Amino acid sequence: MQLISESIINQHFSVCNIEQLDTPTKQRLHSLGIHDGSNLTVIRFFPMHGPVIIEVDHQQIGVRYKVFRILVGGQL
């Protein structure tokens, strides 16, 4: 049996819902170069809805699970 956390590691997603985030989070992600249409790769997925480590433009960023779900539009 494969866990969901194992199945999405190294998968590529496209950011599609950044406007649904709260303003401070949205501004921080914009300052890091993440916007609608950005491509991201899941590097590490911590259990129990912990942080998700993503890679965007060769930089790794930790985001909350809730923020990750919004960014990818629930494509899990």
- Domain ranges in the chain? 4-71
Give yes or no for residue 2 having a pLDDT over 60. Answer: no
CATH code of the domain occupying 4-71: 2.30.30.90
Res 20: pLDDT: 93
The sheet carrying 12-14 orders its strands as 12-14, 39-45, 52-56, 59-63
pLDDT tens profile 13-71: 999 989 999 999 999 999 999 999 999 999 998 888 899 999 999 999 999 999 999 99
pTM (two decimals): 0.84
Res 8: pLDDT: 77
